[in-house]
Amino acid sequence: MPLPVLDGELDTVVAFSVRDASVQVSNCGYDVNLDINVETRLITIGHEPERE
């Protein structure tokens, strides 16, 4: 089951699932910068929101 990451308006920024040594991104609603370190099990998501 994918894990969603939500923004302040509860829109999905990215959804992913983790299994052992792999990460599968199943949905990406924004222009995000993903850094996935399988060794440390750390996923860093970078995103600059649009200014209105």
pTM over cut 0.85:
no
* Per-residue model confidence (pLDDT) at position 8: 83
Q: Is residue 52 part of a domain?
A: no
Q: How far is CA 8 from CA 1, 5, 11, 16, 21, in A?
A: 22, 10, 7, 18, 30
Q: Is residue 13 part of a domain?
A: yes
Domain count, the chain: 1
Q: Is residue 51 part of a domain?
A: no
CA angle 30, 17, 44 (to 5 degrees): 55
Domain with 18 in it: 3-46
Q: Is residue 21 part of a domain?
A: yes
* Per-residue model confidence (pLDDT) at position 39: 82
Tens-place pLDDT, residues 1-36: 788 888 888 888 889 888 877 888 888 877 888 898
Q: Is residue 20 part of a domain?
A: yes
* Per-residue model confidence (pLDDT) at position 22: 81
